[in-house]
Amino acid sequence: MKAIVVRTPAGLDNLAMKELPDPGQPKAGQIRVALHATSLNYHDFLVANGAMPTEDGRVLMSDGAGVIEAIGEGVTEFKVGDHVVSCFFPQWSDGLPFDAVANFHDTPGDGIDGYAAEYAVRATTAFTHAPRGWSHAEAATITTAGLTAWRALVVNGQIKAGDSVLVLGTGGVSIAALQIAKSMGASVIATTGSDDKFERLRELGADHIINYRNTPDWGDHVLALTAGRGVDHVVEVGGAGTLAQSIRAVKVGGHIALIGVLTGFNGDIPTTELMSKQVRLQGLIVGNRRQQQEYVAALDQTSIRPVIHGSLPLEQLADAFRQQERGEHFGKLVVEW
């Protein structure tokens, strides 16, 4: 079967299409999936460019969507022909995070082979059903970005109608969070560095939009938009370079879901303001299988569909990463085959 692997030394120029052995038929408790799509995430980019080292020849990509071709003995959750989507932490079925989730040793596309391949044979716990009627490309956006946004707002944030949400930028997590927030009856303030993206954010329901390049102290602007109160939730994907502004923007007793490190890994934190506001700062990485099942169930009851910026074929995965690196996308970049 065809697959995209990363060679040592890692780098986008060292991604290669290889012919690998077919994984064969599933054993007891396993399913065989014909994969058709994956979506790009910052974690995948860090593995591909060598910032997060992995084994030479690792098959890339944590997100994978496809259709079940065969089931092993004892499998009752799935049947042949079901459309499925992968889990970021296949070993984390439910409950609170544990030691093995603190690293990526069992994460596809990092500690184990991922889904930039034609087929996969995995335990049933490595997949969930995809939303009804979604394309494989749409379903592939769930594993990392979609579930992260869901956990940030619904699982950890306990969002409710009338809440206010701040989302940063127009990447996959932020756009999914905007859509989830609006479906829950919340108001949304969105930031972007491009005036060209204002109209698209408005079309998705953003109530207020701030150009962070023109307004570097956007935390104060958020306070002004909320009559000095601040927002209930911040979906914080920037990290060190944006956290101070997010703390400024959140209300007393509010919630910040710390997800990304797009602006760097280290920085100053205004601890006095963090404490005086009694903010709940929750670090998180994606979520567990049960949360993904609940997210899919919610998607089946809504009209939400992921925003896909563009699609390339599998053999152009490196070019897709270069497009991601430029940061010009709105929503998700996907690869299909």
What pLDDT score does 269 carry?
79
What is the pairing mode between strands 187-192 and 208-211? parallel
Read off the pLDDT of residues 250-306 as tens digits, 9 standing for 90 and up. Answer: 999 999 999 976 555 666 778 889 999 999 999 999 999 999 999 999 999 999 999
What pLDDT score does 265 carry?
61
C-alpha to C-alpha distances, 185 to 131, 178, 179, 237, nearest whole angstrom: 21, 11, 10, 22
* Average predicted confidence (pLDDT) for the chain: 95
What pLDDT score does 10 carry?
87
Q: Give a yes or no: residue 231 inside a domain.
A: yes
What pLDDT score does 240 carry?
82
Q: Give a yes or no: residue 178 inside a domain.
A: yes
Q: Give a yes or no: residue 149 inside a domain.
A: no
pTM of the model: 0.95
Please give the tally of structural domains in the chain. 2
Q: Give DSSP secondary structure letters for 186-206.
A: -EEEEEES-GGGHHHHHHTT-
What pLDDT score does 295 carry?
98
**CATH for 314:** 3.90.180.10
Preceding peptide of 90 cis, ω within 30°: no
Give the pLDDT band of residue 193 (cuts 50, 70, 90). very high
Q: Which helix (H) or strand (E) holds 168?
A: strand 164-168
What pLDDT score does 51 carry?
93
pLDDT at 14 exceeding the cut of 70: yes
Q: Give DSSP secondary structure letters for 22-79.
A: ---S--TTEEEEEEEEEE--HHHHHHHTTSS---TTEEP-S--EEEEEEE-TT--S--
Same domain, residue pair 121 and 187? no
What pLDDT score does 99 carry?
86
Same domain, residue pair 261 and 226? yes
What pLDDT score does 267 carry?
67
Same domain, residue pair 10 and 137? yes
Q: Give a yes or no: residue 150 inside a domain.
A: no
Q: Give a yes or no: residue 108 inside a domain.
A: yes
What pLDDT score does 24 carry?
98
Same domain, residue pair 99 and 174? no
pLDDT at 147 exceeding the cut of 80: yes
pLDDT at 190 exceeding the cut of 80: yes
Domain with 258, as residue range(s), is: 157-283
Same domain, residue pair 7 and 140? yes
Same domain, residue pair 84 and 195? no
Q: Give a yes or no: residue 230 inside a domain.
A: yes
Backbone angles phi, psi at 28, to 5 degrees: -55, 130
Same domain, residue pair 251 and 303? no
Same domain, residue pair 55 and 162? no
Backbone angles phi, psi at 37, to 5 degrees: -160, 155
**Spatial contact of 48 and 324, defined as CB atoms under 8 Å apart:** no
Query: Which residue did the predictor score with more confidence, 102 or 187?
Result: 187
Same domain, residue pair 168 and 257? yes
pLDDT at 176 exceeding the cut of 90: yes
* Window from 185-194, 203-212, 322-331 with minimum mean pLDDT: 322-331
Read off the pLDDT of residues 76-127 as tens digits, 9 standing for 90 and up. Answer: 999 999 999 999 999 999 999 988 788 899 999 999 999 999 999 999 999 9
Same domain, residue pair 29 and 76? yes
Same domain, residue pair 30 and 115? yes
Task: Return the DSSP state at 161.
Answer: T
Give the pLDDT band of residue 309 (cuts 50, 70, 90). very high
Q: Which residues contact 57 (CB under 8 A, 6 or more apart)?
A: 5, 6, 7, 18
Give, rounded to a whole angstrom, the gap between the first and last alpha carbons of the chain: 12
Q: Give a yes or no: residue 71 inside a domain.
A: yes
**CATH for 196:** 3.40.50.720
* Share above pLDDT 70 across residues of the chain, in percent, rounded to a whole number: 98
Last residue of a domain, one of 261, 283, 305: 283
Using alpha carbons, select from 118, 130, 179, 171 the residue that is nearest to residue 153.
Answer: 179
C-alpha to C-alpha distances, 269 to 10, 224, 274, nearest whole angstrom: 33, 22, 8
Same domain, residue pair 249 and 189? yes
Q: What is the mean pLDDT of residues 2-9?
A: 95
